[in-house]
Amino acid sequence: MSLILNITDANFETEIARNPRPTVILFHATWSGPARMSSVLTTELAQPFADVLNFASINVDQNPQTTASYGISSLPTFIVLRAGLVADRLAGPVSRTALQSFLENAQAICT
């Protein structure tokens, strides 16, 4: 079972916005090489944080409403939602180390 939930415009409100648990969301597209790499890194790095954070991904091409509502203009973009509000954001290509640090910070601000 994957730790990363696939989100759409249709289920975003019920799965993410109303969820009291903090969620790291990856905004991506299949045509973006850096976004595909970030997806792989997220899958690899999610497990140690799964006790505190939820993980989700959303395809920007298939879900324009949610993408626009969060002002996503570069890929990949990670946001951390806590109580429906953006607690942190990371945009652009990231290294494993940078993503690890982002997740550690997300865990710290959300606990």
pLDDT at res. 75: 96
CA distances from 71 to 57, 62, 86, 100 (A): 16, 15, 11, 24
> What pLDDT score was predicted for residue 94?
94
Alpha carbons 76 and 72: distance in angstroms, whole number: 9
Ranges in the chain, pLDDT < 70: 1-2
Which pLDDT score is estimated for 1?
47
Name the token pair of 89: 């954001």
Q: What is the pLDDT of residue 110?
A: 77
pLDDT at 86: 93
Amino acid at residue number 27: F
pLDDT at residue 40, as a whole number: 92
DSSP category for residue 28? E
For residue 98, give both structure tokens: 């940078």
Q: Say if residues 100 and 44 touch (Cβ distance below 8 Å).
A: no
Beta strands 54-59 and 85-91: pairing type?
Answer: unpaired
Q: Provide the whole-model pTM.
A: 0.94
